[in-house]
Amino acid sequence: MCGIVGYVGDQPALEVVMQGLRRLEYRGYDSAGVAVLSPDGQLVRERKAGKLANLDKLVSATPMPGTLAIGHTRWATHGAPTDANAHPHLDCTNEVAVVHNGTIENYEVLVDGLERRGHVRRSETDTEVVAHLVEERFSAGPTAGDLPATVRSICRDLEGSFVLVISHRSEPDLVVAARRNLPLVVGLGEGENFVGSDVTAFIAHTRRARAVDQDQVVEVRRGGVRITDLDGVEVAGESYHVDWDTAAAEKGGYDFFMLKEIDEQPQAVRDTLGGRLREDGLLHLDELSMSDEDVRGIEQVFIVACGSSYHSGLLGKYAIERWCRLPVQVEMASEFRYRDPVLGRNTLVIAISQSGETADTLEAVRHARGQKAWVLAVTNTLGSTISRESDAALYTRAGPEVAVASTKAVIAQITAMYVVGLYLAQVRGTRDADEVRSHMRDLSELPDLIAEVLTRMEPVRALARELKDSPRVLFLGRHVGYPIALEGALKLKELAYVSAEGFPAGEIKHGPIALIEPGTPVVVIAPRHALQAKLINNVQEVRARGARTIVIATDGDDSVTPYADVVLRIPDTKSLLTPLLTILPLQVLSAEFARALGLDVDQPRNLAKSVTVE
């Protein structure tokens, strides 16, 4: 939540930072701001409530020359999304500018002290305390005149999570950044350097990046970057190459990122499977970093995740239980550790997170590791906090996902969970080699099937436009169709602000069927599989009460058509793999529904892409 950028180099810094903010806007879009160090040594700040476009308008009317700048796009935590609460925040003397991602939990105590010492607070944010603390400690005391030392000393006094990026008007060649718990990446250029919440902030300028660890402070100068711990000791670290380019972070002719990302799903699945097959058709999964003996010793599996990633986890449970005969529990990460789950050395915990930064999932990882469980992160983000704090990381290879509503990352997660399930089955011997090979062959066919389904979306779009005024939509599924029903409902809620719920179809008689009124749209995920006969009964039950039934069915299967007002078709595949196809019309339905309502498909209200607060 919140996107931050810092730049020092020889280019017009405002443009570099605004470009970075455009790429980071998915992280929060309540307000945005920049501060540029002008050639005459003044910190010139502009900020505006609302989306980045508002700031864009403002800065294009204001000349802001300078080659050092910091910027911020906000998801409000402390203080409403107003101009006054927008970052950057300045100190009393306008010599210090600070942008911040995170929450400073002890800010009230710090504010009390600052106010007693005569500082005047001009916003309701927790962030502003940092500007005043820099003002004090840079002007007097043991860290006077030394900005990195000042920031290190302040970090020691802060509680909570933060990424801070700070500039001081007396330091024309220095931006200082610090991180605890939240993401910060350094971009390494020639004669210019960058910091950002993720690599998209600077990908247009450099593809060489360096990760920053917990409680480290980064000194960014034109000539180089130095990273120290909070004692000022320089830490060694390797840079890495970002292997996707700017095109991956741009709309490429689509009206919305989400529509582009939906179409990128065949590739996301292909890339996630890629390189994980041995020549003999079996799997290798070195990323798990477990010996075969340890894999055989696993006694239980927990999957922890939030939102759509949780739905991928539910599908992982079906796969692992079926193929490995291991007990699997799937937990919402926000509940996991408070329940005090029983974990131990023979527990495998799989943490699924697209961003790799979700606060609840990260805390679940820390809890699990504290209980000696082996933690595998399944994430889309190289070098993310969750991947770094887990015992092992398996990367989905969906590429950067910008739309707040997750699509290609989810399909890549489901694929990755199936790969994990098959690998565990292979090593534990619960499925023989031929069966593992055969499942992998089926999985390898999915990218083409996904591409085919995506060519059939016109009727789904038309349906969405027709349904757009429905106040409520229900989604029903059984077995692996159930997590997809949950996912369809979540997508519709977050994008179209429509009341939508997903249920196991067998449960509706126990209450939810009371929601059905004449014309209520009910989407039923009913591909051909063992439970279809029962599902058909459920379709009949809701139809008898006036529901408008929209059924996702397998090509050539007419058993459901007598009870369906609308049939959406998918090609045949193995039952366990159907989610990779049935999810597609639901993504398109929600995107088009939102579009028909005139809503912003990529940036739904009140949300942010990565939820880095608990």
Helices in 25-99 by DSSP H: which ranges?
A: 52-60
Residue, CB closest to ligand M6R: 307
Closer residue to ligand M6R (CB): 125 or 406? 406
Q: Give the side-chain half-sphere CA count within 13 A for 583.
A: 34
Q: What's the 3-state SS for 124-138?
A: CCCCHHHHHHHHHHH
What would the two tokens of residue 517 be?
């009124």
Closer residue to ligand M6R (CB): 520 or 610? 610
CB of 135 to ligand M6R, least distance (A): 36
CB of 610 to ligand M6R, least distance (A): 5
Which residue of the set 2, 155, 306, 324 is catalytic? Answer: 2
Closer residue to ligand M6R (CB): 36 or 382? 382
- Say whether 155 is catalytic: no
356 within 8 A of 329, measured Cβ to Cβ: no
148 within 8 A of 165, measured Cβ to Cβ: no
435 within 8 A of 560, measured Cβ to Cβ: no
What would the two tokens of residue 434 be?
């031929």
CB of 355 to ligand M6R, least distance (A): 3
Closest by CA to 591, choosing from 452, 429, 464, 432, is 464
350 within 8 A of 454, measured Cβ to Cβ: no
In Å, how far from its chain's centre is CA 115? 38
> Euclidean distance between the first and final Cα of the chain, in Å?
11
d(CA 78, CA 531): 49
Strands 328-332 and 216-221: unpaired
Write out the H or E segment, with its range, that includes residue 185: strand 185-188
CB of 138 to ligand M6R, least distance (A): 36
CB of 408 to ligand M6R, least distance (A): 11
- Say whether 609 is catalytic: yes
Closest by CA to 88, choosing from 104, 72, 101, 75, is 72
Q: Is 142 helix (H, G, I), strand (E, B) or coil?
A: coil
CB of 410 to ligand M6R, least distance (A): 7
Closer residue to ligand M6R (CB): 125 or 358? 358
Length of the chain: 614
Closer residue to ligand M6R (CB): 97 or 450? 450
Closer residue to ligand M6R (CB): 196 or 307? 307
What would the two tokens of residue 577 be?
């793999």
d(CA 344, CA 215): 28
Question: Can you spell out the DSSP letters for 527-546?
Answer: -SSTTHHHHHHHHHHHHHTT
d(CA 572, CA 550): 18
Closer residue to ligand M6R (CB): 265 or 361? 361
Q: Which residues bind ligand M6R (CB under 6 A)?
A: 306-309, 353-355, 358, 361, 404-406, 490, 494, 610-611
Question: Which residues are registered as beta bridge partners of 403?
Answer: none
CB of 212 to ligand M6R, least distance (A): 19
Closer residue to ligand M6R (CB): 4 or 306? 306
* Catalytic machinery residues: 2, 609
